[in-house]
Structure 1
Amino acid sequence: MSASRGPSVRQRRLAAELRRLREQKGYTGDDVADSLSWSTAKVSRIENARTGAKITDVHRLLDLYDIGGSRRDDLIALAHDAAEKGWWEDYRDLPGPYSDFIALEAEATALREWDSTVLAGLLQTEGYARHVIGGWSDLATLPPQELERRVEVRMRRQELLTGPDPLELSVVLDEAVLMRRVGDRKVMYGQLEHLCRLAELPHINLQVLPLSVTHSVLTESFILLEFSPVHDITFPDIVHTESLTISHLVDEAVTFMYRLAYTSLASQALSTVESRRRIVELRDEWR
């Protein structure tokens, strides 16, 4: 049975804007409910993105708030976008938090990541990913078919890096990640060779933080997702962290701390040119 899915970025943008428009008019949720013959609970669910807003409902709300012209067109376009189904929803066996993260990742403009244990999923080869995901079988049985589907999902996520408007990806890698054996030597050589190719792409920035450098910030791996405005509607940056059993999004109020942490780690890491040179050296050691 699939886990419940959280709202997408588009749904959250729409919900926040509808709430802002209501507050701008000085209406309460009860006022809107009375005017449209809805329940107050329905207004709350729409404004908190707990339920997808129907296009007809959005039209009625915009009529109530006297929104017309290009602003109305933008919001209706956003409502149509929010109603679209993401490719990851076809994988109904994915854990809910993982599916929610993919939905956020798919709409991010830029992603900044610190990797202290394993390589970022967006950087992994199929062979490396299979060993990482397969490792979970030591903790919880993962049927072969589910393992293959998880690997397939990881590879599909990487399409963000190859499209016409690719994701801007910046990653700081702890040098230990490149030295830690995952799979056999062939897997490691192929993985580091893949990193060398990725490092040449203009929208990918890879830096290695040497073991010999004093780490001023000692923290777990994290991902900072950044979002550009869509239809002039902004969305806050989000930080994702995970441990052995928990995957969660960090409260918006402390996101700036992770940005400072990433900036500090990047400043201590090798330059992109030096990092690529170091990756080549480590790749050859795995030959």
Structure 2
Amino acid sequence: MGWDESKLSRIENAKARMPPPGVTKLLRLYGVNDPEVAAALENLARDAGKQGWWQTYGDAVALSYKDYLTLETDAESIQINAPLIPGLLQTGAYAREIIGAMALTRTPEEVIALAEVRKTRQAILTTRAGGPLKFWAVIHETALHQRFAAQPTLMREQLRHLLDMSDLPNITIQVMPLAAGAHPGMLGLFEVVRFPHPWPTVVQLENLRGGYLVEGTEDVKVFETAFERVVAAALPVDESRETIKKIMEGNGM
């Protein structure tokens, strides 16, 4: 290839960018002959220098979050087991309350910025070039009963938004009822993120310190199976809509 070992080492260790013309040569060196894989990697190299819209928020968006936003932008579908209303389905007011409560090390200005990022992300469900993201959320019923004393109408607006979003053909919402038996979703939030071939599926996990990815066929398969069991334990889509509607209309909302 005419490259010295130090240059090749920097590329292999993600310390140097691979120019698109060099991708084909490197793939030949590694014995990769699948044309779909080659085309995907060439496109990835071509896009490597592009910056996402979230870069304008600077350090308010953590590096791990930026990595996830990059994945989310390219994802074909996401399936999420959610103890809270998922970020892609949150209203602005709900997002500010939730981020403010959980972002323990953030300033008020950063909370506002992160809420704006969350709302901007949601365009992926409706106006993304190439088609909207397919999104399947199983939301635990306890999240639907949340109240915000200082904003008594906030939760009603959030539940109304869930009903509106569930009308979209690319969005599936199920409710995990309080009466459900034991299921894998009890362990907390996880997202199964799928991409067009040939890219592999990954899983996103979250905690108070941020998110991290699970990769590898066997590890990912565990979460895919877990989501299937969560779906089976949740209410069907029509019953889920009725549950959301009843909670929205009841309890003085």
Give the TM-score category using the shorter length: 0.7 to 0.9
TM-score (normalizing by structure 2): 0.86
Gaps of 5+ in 2: none
Structure 2 partner of 1:166: 132
Structure 2 partner of 1:91: 57
User: For structure 1, which segment, 192-201 or 44-53, has the greater mean C-alpha deviation from structure 2 after superposition?
Assistant: 44-53
- Does the 8 Å contact 1:106/1:160 carry over to 2? yes
Structure 2 partner of 1:268: 233
Please say which structure displays the higher CA radius of gyration.
1
Q: 1:197 to 1:268 in 2, by over 3 A?
A: same
Structure 2 partner of 1:197: 164
SS at match of 1:91: helix
Pairs within 5 Å for 1:93-112: 93=59, 94-112=61-79
Q: 1:235 to 1:51 in 2, by over 3 A?
A: farther
Aligned residues between the structures: 244
2:176 and 2:30 map into 1 onto residues whose CA distance is: 52
Structure 2 partner of 1:31: none
1:126 aligned onto 2:92: yes
Q: 1:227 to 1:74 in 2, by over 3 A?
A: closer
SS at match of 1:242: strand
1:242 and 1:148 map into 2 onto residues whose CA distance is: 20
Structure 2 partner of 1:54: 19
Deviation readout 1:6-35 (Å, 9 max, x if unpaired): xxxxxxxxxxxxxxxxxxxxxxxxxxxxx4
1:153 and 1:106 map into 2 onto residues whose CA distance is: 13
- Does the 8 Å contact 1:222/1:242 carry over to 2? yes
Structure 2 partner of 1:18: none
User: For structure 1, which segment, 145-154 or 260-269, has the greater mean C-alpha deviation from structure 2 after superposition?
Assistant: 145-154
1:282 Cα deviation after fit: 0.8
1:130 and 1:283 map into 2 onto residues whose CA distance is: 20
Deviation readout 1:209-245 (Å, 9 max, x if unpaired): 100121232311111100112xxxx111111111122
- Does the 8 Å contact 1:215/1:265 carry over to 2? no
TM-score (normalizing by structure 1): 0.76
1:228 and 1:119 map into 2 onto residues whose CA distance is: 26
- Does the 8 Å contact 1:224/1:238 carry over to 2? yes
Partner amino acid for 1:216? Answer: H
Structure 2 partner of 1:208: 175
Identify which of 209, 212, 216 aligns with 1:245.
Answer: 209
Identify which of 189, 194, 204 aligns with 1:221.
Answer: 189
Gaps of 5+ in 1: 1-34
- Does the 8 Å contact 2:65/2:210 carry over to 1? no
Structure 1 partner of 2:117: 153
1:179 aligned onto 2:145: yes
SS at match of 1:83: coil
1:213 and 1:66 map into 2 onto residues whose CA distance is: 50
1:106 Cα deviation after fit: 1.0
Partner amino acid for 2:171? Answer: I
Q: 1:39 to 1:271 in 2, by over 3 A?
A: same
Q: 1:278 to 1:107 in 2, by over 3 A?
A: same
